[in-house]
Amino acid sequence: MSRCMVLNADYQYLNIEEDWFDSLMLVLQEKADPIEHYPQVVRSQHLAINLPAVVVMRYRVNVKRRGRLFQLPTKKAVFIRDGFECQYCGTRISMGSGTRDHVHPLSRGGANTMTNVVAACKACNLRKADRTPDEAGMALRNKPRPLTDEEKVRCLLKTCRADERRAWLGCLRRMGIALWA
């Protein structure tokens, strides 16, 4: 069965409910309202209910601040954004074979942010060393940037299921919801 994205009462991302039964219980106990459904139906003797894909809590749930959740350039976030390709030579990389590279080196005042970190193969990272790409005679294929909402959703999921991502992002776009305002 499918997972459910749970939004807080202010439509900010809250969590991904892994068990379809738990997300259905939020709806049945009137703690949350579904705003998107999957085509799958759960049936009992007297009731048939579409599985919720996205629900919104009826009351605001207080959570610890998550403001920096996608601002830090984690390896996973940088690799997803850069398509698992070295941003200097274009080589395909994996989580084990690739590295993060600070375009403007930290030792020279560069920031540890998504707009200053790119995915790089180990050879290019060693070649660039403690220099800027211009000083090393290397060109960036793509300028580093913050994550898009779709990339943020992909970072949240350990395994991305296409039907879930399609339902969630379709709902968010249709309703004009920005998860991380």
Query: Which sequence spans correspond to the domains of the chain?
Result: 4-66+159-175, 75-136
Task: With a cut of 60, say whether residue 181 has pLDDT above it.
Answer: no
CATH topology of domain 75-136: DNA Binding (I), subunit A (1.10.30)
Taking the whole predicted model, whether its pTM rises above 0.75 is answered as: no
Residue 83 C-beta-side C-alpha neighbours within 13 Å: 8
pLDDT in tens, 128-151: 999 999 999 999 999 999 988 778
Task: Encode pLDDT of 89-111 as tens digits.
Answer: 999 999 999 999 999 999 999 99
Who's near 105: CB < 8 A, 6+ residues apart? Answer: 130, 131, 132
